[in-house]
A = this chain, B = another copy of it.
C-alpha cells in the first residue's frame, strides 16, 4: 500500500538525472535515462511523456530531441507528480469521482476518511522536488531552444 510505484520511482530518477547535469542544459532522451539506470525504456518513456503533457518537462520531437526540465519544476510537489502519473490521490475509492465502492452497506469509511485524505494530500503537497532530491540551489535553466 505504501510502496512507490515504478512510475514514480522512474520519474524521480529521471528528475534526479536531469537535475544533476543541469548547467549543461541539453535535451536528454528517454533512452539515455533508461540506459543509465537500467530501467525499461518504454516505461520510463511513457512517464516522461505524461510529465511533458502535464507541463513539468519540455519535450522536443525528432533526432537530437528529448526532454528537459521546465522552469519551476523544482517546486512541483510529490502530490502533483502522483496525480499526473497515477490519478487522484485517495485513501478510499468512494472519494474518487466515480465512487464505485462496493461495500456501501453501512460503510462509514468515506466520511471518516475525508479529513484524513485531505491531510495526506497536504503532506505530499508540501514535499517538493527541490527538497526531495536534496538540491542546494537550482541553477536557472536557460531558455529553451531548438536542439540544433
Q: Which residues of A contact B (CB under 8 A)?
A: 1-5, 8-9, 12-13, 16, 36-39, 82, 86, 89-93, 103, 105-109, 112-113, 116, 119-120, 123, 127, 132-134
Query: A112-B12, A112-B133 known; A4 and B91 CB under 8 Å?
Result: yes
> Which of B16, B82, B89, B120 meets A112, CB within 8 Å?
B16
Query: Do A92 and B9 have beta carbons less than 8 Å apart?
Result: yes
By beta carbon, the residue of chain B nearest A36 is B106
> Which of B13, B109, B116 meets A13, CB within 8 Å?
B109
5 examples of A-B residue contacts, CB within 8 angstroms: A1-B3, A1-B82, A4-B92, A39-B103, A119-B123
